[in-house]
Structure 1
Amino acid sequence: MARSIHTQAGKFLGRTAIVAGLAIALLGSGQAVAERLKDLASVQGVRNNQLVGYGLVVGLDGSGDQTTQTPFTTQSIINMLAQLGTTLPTTQSLQLKNVAAVMVTAILPPFARTGQQIDITVSSMGNAKSLRGGTLVMTPLKGADGQIYAQAQGNLLVGGAGAASAGSKVVVNHLLAGRVVGGATVEREVPTALGQGPFVHYEMATTDFGTTQRVVEAINREIGPGTAQAIDGRLVRVAAPEDANSRVAFLGRLESLDVRPTKTVAKVIINPRTGSVVMNQTVTIDSCAVAHGNLSVIINTEQKVSQPNTLAGGQTVTTTQSEIDIKQGGGSLIQLKAGVNLAEVVKAINALGAGPQDLLSILQSMKAAGALRAELEII
């Protein structure tokens, strides 16, 4: 029997004329486009709050937890039935295949009021095979302070399908997490202060002194000199009416202001797990030469049987013979011309004929050599 293993450093997904996995965004000029203030900054104190809860999903078609291996599911079932008036001995072994223990998460938006419906996400935490067709029973959702802020319940929507029979299994998408639209009802409100006294503070999404100054100038130009003042590179203090109705109208007027942010910081984002590379429009490269070869290791393993003559008195034995062949692909030296915009950078990178995994190594080497004019971030 022969076995062959091929490993190629730098050639996992093949070579294409256009690098697969290189996601290109914002093709065009490097001139910044005006954006609304609400897209660049948020009002300080107006924020979401995370909620979490532990519950049970019932009604599964035999795809629930194996309760012998997930004792917390069994304990939860006994506790739930006790609250509903059915008492079971704690020593009893339950074999329920239609129940699964889950974690329920939700986002409580700012200014949420009692009775408001919010969406929830339900995720299996045991060894269930699927949550498809299940129903989440009433689950309290708590905040970071341990208080209950919402109650969740409803039928799960799982965006997947699967089937298994006689050792074969087919799964489409993910079956162990689902959503319930409007599945939680807010039971407790979170007080949200809209500003501090006569001032409202805007927090910029990113620290950028130039953009922050332009926000101040736009507000003072629209409302009046001295209305806005920059505290630092991320915080802007704005004098606002103290009457609640007037303050809301004032903030609604501000959030629609157009602000032209400063030029975006050149950045390249690399995801080595998927081979994805994303770069923004301000990325440029200097002239450089790149050579990238391919290494191929081939291992052939063959099982051979050694059988002695009939009168020799020996034993039949099996031996393993392996052949290892290492091949170094020819990597030619390619000169890349300086690129002053994203289209030229993409054209230069495509000239290398490199696959996504090759591209990750090449970009890191170009950054180390000072030829890549951008921040390199690996996620």
Structure 2
Amino acid sequence: MVNRRTVIRGGSAAVAAAAGAGALTLAVDGDNVSAATPSDQDTNGRDAVAAAAGTPAFLPLPPNAKPLPDNGKGYRIQRVGSNAYVVVTGFVQSVFVVTQDGVVLVDAPPASSGKLKEAIASVTAKPVTHFIYSHSHLDHVGAVTDFPNVTRIAHADCATILALHKDPARPMPQKVVSGRYNTLYIGGEEIRLIYPGANHEAGNILTYFPRQRLAVMTDVVMPGWAPYRGWGNADYLPGILLGHDAILELDFDTYVGGHVYRTGTRADVKQSRAFFVDFWNTVKKNMSAISFSEAAASVEAENAWAAQKVWIDEIAKATQTELVERWGKQIAAVDTFTADTAGSVVVSISTDATVNFP
């Protein structure tokens, strides 16, 4: 079975294996990459097979959401500044910057264990001296122990969560920053750590390398993709929008979001923000348009959970239909987790957001 944990453990390789003969084929000729996709007839055939098997058929991925070829070793290195690099392993990403004194690394997903060391060594002989926790989630930082001699840096809110975990795979930081703005100078490189408040997780920070024109904020923007379920089970959904705004305040060329097959641009962040606002407002509209009392009439009167479920499910179905119609050809996977996420938005609108949000 392919699920999020499968992707976390093995990148996209496990997903591609499960997809079988219907998977995307990439033909590489020098620097030119062409995507060979199945014919419409094959696609319809797969849909028929899926229907017969009782499994859903999904919208095809837009071209800019599909995987790029790796180096044959399971990862891809992308230079994104004079001395900054992104390592893409399947569906996860890390960033490293080579400074005068050593390497600063942001995130180390378990799927990249071993590969990160090899990728860094292919660029520089300098050691990794510093590690920045984007946040505490294991799927992004669980391979930090591959670099035992680094100075680990995290926001205070992230450090609080790490202390609660007591997980040897996620050791405590030696340096903790607090507040909204912090600036570090490591090996001659300016690094700004920006915390717009709780978002995907409390303590999830935006790391900005001004000289590299590089912004890194994990699990907030997925360039070219709809968000994962509930924006990754976000701690505070309104904070997702605040995260977008914090990114867009910066002067950057490259955005790294920790997931998907490619890096992003300012246009990707703007598109993601527009999707968030449309999503939120569509849910809010449907909450007003769909009668709770009529939905509740179909279940036992005293069963408050059942009444909520029927109402939320109707809102979610209506919301997904609208968003697929408006966004289905622009960004990937709008038809996958949108209904699930809509349920999270209903709760957040009811509990988190201010009256005029967004």
TM-score by length of 1: 0.18
Structure having the larger proportion of residues in helix: 2
Structure having the larger proportion of residues in strand: 1
TM-score by length of 2: 0.19
- Structure scoring higher RCO (CA < 8 A, sep ≥ 6) equals 1
